[in-house]
């Protein structure tokens, strides 16, 4: 056998256990196919952790995720825990976990599959072939800047970025671009914000270490317009926290279905890979959830955390094939479905495609 990896598994709440199980199914298939080993260790987070331990992020989980190569995560939350104090809610556990893991970069792909092109609200000619990666800085900017204050008649926040924070997120974006089409668009508001002037300066400095990558700049208002007008012009977008929050959500809707899109939070320690959708407690346990976003998250884990590019490609190709062959879970059944399948069936079909390819 080749290399051996240890993955942390956080299934979470709602449909989390169902979709993560299918991602593990696919990971096992691709590991066998490409001659490496994967072992798994499961940890608690969110509502499941609250029910068992009384807190959303147990110390055992904090300790455990620091000893694995990467973490695959499902989803957390649900109405069962909505009335708890804020610091005891499932979402607080996830925020704390990201901090413990040292994640500062959010990776949000926006991919439009030809077979589901009619799911997008935009014209097919506009979105056909879209494959964008939005790299959002997660731990700086206006969401975390000090001082900040809310008073009766006046409130303010402070946008702050250091040279080091900008350089490290830019490096993530350029490294990803080297594995893609070697184009980076840095989005800022340098015409009016001093923070953005520094952002642009530092990104240009980092770009000197990547002569193969083409760097462009765009103001955030124009970038928002261009995402809708001509999304295919983008390969990798790198931007700050608040701009990335908005642009990544806008980009995600180019595909027309959040059930298909993966994401990752990476940084200096261990990466956390997860679908962008929530725990969907209304359909939990019914076997109808769409596991494709979680399976695609596993492919991202292989590509960006473990550098198993061939294995990641195999998963991505299997997803495209399953859609081309007309298999659909219920959420996307309206778009040219030849056969509607369950969550487990979708995972098995993708795993079989990999094994037989």
In this prediction, residue 78 has a pLDDT band, given cuts at 50, 70 and 90, of very high
CA distances in angstroms from 338 to 206, 333, 335, 352, listed in the order given: 48, 9, 9, 18
Active-site choice (21, 28, 249, 316): 249
Place of tokens 């103001």: 219
- All domains of the chain in start order, with CATH: 1-111+255-357 (3.40.718.10), 131-253 (3.40.50.2300)
* DSSP secondary structure letter of residue 116: G
Measuring CA to CA, which residue among 258, 247, 260, 336 is closest to residue 293? 260
Active-site choice (82, 209, 221, 307): 221
CA 219 to the chain's CA centroid: 24
pLDDT for residue 201 = 98
Place of tokens 């890979």: 273
Active-site choice (245, 304, 327, 331): 245
pLDDT for 273-296, tens place per residue? Answer: 999 999 999 999 999 999 999 999
Whether 249 is a known active-site residue: answer yes
pTM (predicted TM-score): 0.91
Render 168-221 in DSSP notation, one character per residue: HHHHHHHHHHHTTTSEEEEEE-TTT-HHHHHHHHHHHHHHTT-TTSEEEEEEHH
Q: Evaluate if residue 270 carries a pLDDT over 60.
A: yes
Whether 189 is a known active-site residue: answer yes
Whether 353 is a known active-site residue: answer no
Active-site choice (13, 161, 189, 235): 189
Q: Give the pLDDT mean for 140-168.
A: 95
Q: Evaluate if residue 32 carries a pLDDT over 70.
A: yes
* DSSP secondary structure letter of residue 332: G
Whether 307 is a known active-site residue: answer no
Active-site choice (143, 179, 181, 336): 143
pLDDT for 156-198, tens place per residue? Answer: 999 999 999 999 999 999 999 999 999 999 999 999 999 999 9
Contact (Cβ atoms closer than 8 angstroms) between residue 75 and residue 48: no
Whether 143 is a known active-site residue: answer yes
pLDDT for residue 268 = 75
Lowest mean pLDDT among 26-30, 190-194, 257-261: 257-261
């Amino acid at each position: 056998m080749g290399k051996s990896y240890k993955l942390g598994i956080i299934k979470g709440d709602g449909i989390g256990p169902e979709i993560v199980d299918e991602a593990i199914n696919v990971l096992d298939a691709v590991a066998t196919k490409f001659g490496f080993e994967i072992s798994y260790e499961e940890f608690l987070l969110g509502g499941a952790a609250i029910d068992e331990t009384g807190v959303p992020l147990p110390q055992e989980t904090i300790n455990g995720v620091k000893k694995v190569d990467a973490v695959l995560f499902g989803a957390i939350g649900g109405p069962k825990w909505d009335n708890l104090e804020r610091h005891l809610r499932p979402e607080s556990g996830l925020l704390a976990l990201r901090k413990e893991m040292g994640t500062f970069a959010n990776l949000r792909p926006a991919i439009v599959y030809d077979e589901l092109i009619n799911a997008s609200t935009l014209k097919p000619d506009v979105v056909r072939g879209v494959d964008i990666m939005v790299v959002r800085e997660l731990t700086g900017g206006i969401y975390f800047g000090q001082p900040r204050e809310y008073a009766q008649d006046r409130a303010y926040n402070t946008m702050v970025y250091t040279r080091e924070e900008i350089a490290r997120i830019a490096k993530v974006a350029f490294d990803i671009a080297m594995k893609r089409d070697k184009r980076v668009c840095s989005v800022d508001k340098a015409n009016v914000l001093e923070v953005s002037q520094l952002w642009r300066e530092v990104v240009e400095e980092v770009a000197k270490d990547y002569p193969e990558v083409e760097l462009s700049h765009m103001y955030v208002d124009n970038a928002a317009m261009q995402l809708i007008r001509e999304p295919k012009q983008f390969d990798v977008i790198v931007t700050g926290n608040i701009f990335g929050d908005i642009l990544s959500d806008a980009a995600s809707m180019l595909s027309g279905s959040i059930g298909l899109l993966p994401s990752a939070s990476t940084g200096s320690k261990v990466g956390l890979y997860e679908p962008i959708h929530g725990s969907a407690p209304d359909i939990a346990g019914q076997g109808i959830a769409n596991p494709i976003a979680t399976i695609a998250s596993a492919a991202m884990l292989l590509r960006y955390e473990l550098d198993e590019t061939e294995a990641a490609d195999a998963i991505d190709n299997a997803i495209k094939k399953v859609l081309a062959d007309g298999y659909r879970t219920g959420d996307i059944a309206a778009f040219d479905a030849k056969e509607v399948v369950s969550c487990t069936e979708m995972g098995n079909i993708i795993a079989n495609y990999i094994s037989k390819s």
